[in-house]
Chain A
Amino acid sequence: MSGLDFLTTRLETALGWGRKYSLFHYPFITACCGMEYMSAACAHFDIDRFGAGLTRFSPRQADLLLVVGTVTHKLAPVLKTVYDQMLEPKWVIAFGACAVSGGIYQNYAVVQGIDRIIPVDIYIPGCPPRPETVLDGLMKLQDKIQHQKQDWRWAGKP
C-alpha cells in the first residue's frame, strides 16, 4: 500500500465513523409502517441511541432517506424528486415489505419495490417490521457506511 493509501485509509475510517453516528434521516412516511416507525423512534425502542434520532423534514439537511410504507404510482414522482433533492453522501433504507417489493399489493396502483425508482442501500423486511428489526437494519447501514470507500477528487480516483 503506497504511503498515500495509508493516509487515506485512516482518514476514510475516521470519515466513516463520523458519518455513521450522525445520521439525519428524512422520514418519507406513507402507510402502516409509519406506526412501527413511531414505535421505533419513540422512547421504548429509542432510535436515538444509534445517533440517528434527529428527523430532518427537508431533503436539503438529511442524509438518510427512510422510505416507510407503500409507494404508489401516484406518489412515485414525489419520491423521485425528494431523493434527487438530497445532497451527497446520501443513503436510502426501504422500510417494510411494500417499500422493499410492493408487499401484499401487486396491482395497478403500487410500485413493486422502490428500487425501481431510486437506488436502495438497506432493505428491512416485515409487514410491518418489528422495531428491533428496524434497529438491526440501521446497524447494518452503519456498518456499510463505516466500510464505504470515499471517492477522492484530488487523488484522481474515479
Chain B
Amino acid sequence: MGRETLIDEIRTKLGDAVEGVSYSFGDDVLTVRPGSLRSLMTALRDAPFDYAVLLDLTCVDFAAGEGRLELVYHLYSLSRNVRLRLKASLSAADPVAETLTGLWKNADWLEREVFDMFGVRFTGHPDLRRLLTYEGFEGHPLRKSYPWRLAQPRIPMKDKV
C-alpha cells in the first residue's frame, strides 16, 4: 500500500480525530485532537495499520509564541516499514493528555520524562513521578521559561570565587 493511500485510508477510517495532514521534509505528519488521542492510537496500533512500535514521544514548548505545548509521537510499522509522526497540541496553562501506558509499555517512562521536563500531566498514568531530575527540583527544565543555568543543588556547595 503506497504512502498516500495509507494516509488517505487513515483519514477515511479515523477522519474525526485527525485535524490535518502535512508533510515536512518527506515525513508525513498527522495533527490530532488531544481528546481523541487514545482511541486513534489504539486504532493505529491494531490490525489494518499495525504501527507496532511507539518509537518516541517528546514535547515542544511553544508557550511563549502560541501559548501551547505540542506532544510529538513517532510510530513505526514493522510490517509496512513506514514511519508516522502525530502531533497533539495542549494548552500551555494546564497541559493534560491521556496516557498510552495501556497500549505500549515504554510509554510509562516516556510520559514520566515529558512530565518531568515539561509538566504535562498524563491522566491514568500508574506512577507519574519525575524521571530524570530529583525529588526536590522545582520547575520543569525544558520549558523555555526555565533559565538555562539555574541550578538547584541538593547539598550545600562551596562556591569557588
A117 contacts the other chain (CB 8 A):
yes
CB within 8 Å for A116 and B141 given contacts A73-B152, A108-B148, A108-B149: no
Q: Is the CB of A108 within 8 A of B158?
A: no
Q: Is the CB of A80 within 8 A of B160?
A: no
A94 contacts the other chain (CB 8 A):
no
The number of chain A residues touching the other chain, given as a range, is 10 to 19
A74 contacts the other chain (CB 8 A):
yes
Q: Tell me what chain B mostly uses at the interface: helix, strand, loop, or mixed.
A: loop
A109 CA / B137 CA spacing, docked (Å)? 10
CB within 8 Å for A116 and B159 given contacts A73-B153, A74-B154, A76-B154: yes
**Interface membership of chain B positions 128-161, coded 1 if the CB is closer than 8 angstroms to chain A and 0 otherwise:** 0000011000000100001111111111011110
Q: Is the CB of B141 within 8 A of A108?
A: yes
- Write out the residue numbers on chain B whose beta carbons fall within 8 Å of the beta carbon of A111: 153, 157
Q: Is the CB of B148 within 8 A of A74?
A: no
A48 contacts the other chain (CB 8 A):
no
A27 contacts the other chain (CB 8 A):
no
**Interface membership of chain A positions 97-124, coded 1 if the CB is closer than 8 angstroms to chain B and 0 otherwise:** 0000000001111010101110000000
- Write out the residue numbers on chain B whose beta carbons fall within 8 Å of the beta carbon of A51: none
With beta carbons under 8 angstroms apart, the residue of B148, B149, B154, B160 that contacts A116 is: B160
- Write out the residue numbers on chain A whose beta carbons fall within 8 Å of the beta carbon of B133: 74, 109
Shortest CB–CB separation between residue A7 and chain B, in angstroms?
A: 38
Q: Is the CB of B160 within 8 A of A115?
A: yes
- Write out the residue numbers on chain B whose beta carbons fall within 8 Å of the beta carbon of A117: 155, 157-158
Q: Is the CB of A80 within 8 A of B146?
A: no
- Write out the residue numbers on chain A whose beta carbons fall within 8 Å of the beta carbon of B148: 107-108
A37 CA / B19 CA spacing, docked (Å)? 53
CB within 8 Å for A107 and B155 given contacts A74-B134, A113-B160, A115-B160: no
Q: Is the CB of A77 within 8 A of B155?
A: yes
- Write out the residue numbers on chain B whose beta carbons fall within 8 Å of the beta carbon of A80: 155
A111 CA / B160 CA spacing, docked (Å)? 12
Chain B positions within 8 Å of A, measured between CB atoms, are 133-134, 141, 146-155, 157-160
Q: A74-B133, A74-B134, A116-B159 are in contact. List 20 more A-B contacts (CB 8 A).
A: A74-B154, A76-B153, A76-B154, A76-B157, A77-B154, A77-B155, A80-B155, A107-B148, A107-B149, A107-B151, A108-B149, A109-B141, A109-B151, A111-B153, A113-B160, A115-B160, A116-B157, A116-B158, A116-B160, A117-B158
12 contacts between A and B (CB under 8 A): A73-B134, A73-B154, A74-B154, A76-B154, A77-B154, A106-B149, A107-B148, A108-B148, A108-B151, A108-B152, A109-B141, A113-B160
* Nearest 6 pairs of A and B residues by beta carbon: A116-B157, A74-B134, A108-B151, A116-B158, A77-B155, A73-B153
